[in-house]
């Protein structure tokens, strides 16, 4: 599942898919304890899919609560430059 697929999902579909993937991750962990995991790369794939879903859910929540009237977040002020060290004379 990639980002464009996740953005097309509804709120309910995101929650359902996240629940399904968490169950799949749980099942993979159980298989790991009994040495029945055939493809260890599934852990990484499932974890990343869950993260994509939760990130999209969070982004929608932030967008909903921030409203369209607010401007973009202000940039952080630049740090003051440190004074140059004087050359030491020996």
Helix (H, G, I), strand (E, B) or coil at 78: coil
Q: What's the pLDDT score for residue 88? A: 67
Q: What's the pLDDT score for residue 12? A: 94
Ranges of each domain in the chain: 7-62
Q: What's the pLDDT score for residue 74? A: 56
Q: What is the pLDDT of residues 52-73, one digit of tens each?
A: 999 999 999 999 998 755 555 5
Angle, helix 11-33 to helix 41-66, in steps of 10 degrees: 150
pLDDT digits (tens), the chain, 90 positions: 888 999 999 999 999 999 999 999 999 999 999 988 888 999 999 999 999 999 999 999 999 998 755 555 555 666 776 777 766 665
pTM: 0.68
d(CA 61, CA 67): 10
Q: Quote the strand ranges of the chain, DSSP E.
A: none
Q: What's the pLDDT score for residue 77? A: 67
């Amino acid at each position: 599942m990639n980002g464009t697929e996740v953005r097309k999902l509804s709120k309910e579909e995101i929650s359902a898919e996240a629940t399904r993937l968490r169950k799949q991750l749980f099942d993979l962990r159980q298989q790991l304890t009994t040495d029945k995991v055939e493809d260890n790369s599934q852990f990484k794939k499932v974890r990343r899919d869950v993260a994509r879903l939760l990130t999209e859910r969070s982004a929608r929540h932030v967008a909903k609560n921030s409203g369209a009237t607010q401007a973009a977040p202000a940039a952080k002020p630049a740090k003051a430059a440190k004074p140059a060290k004087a050359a030491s004379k020996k």
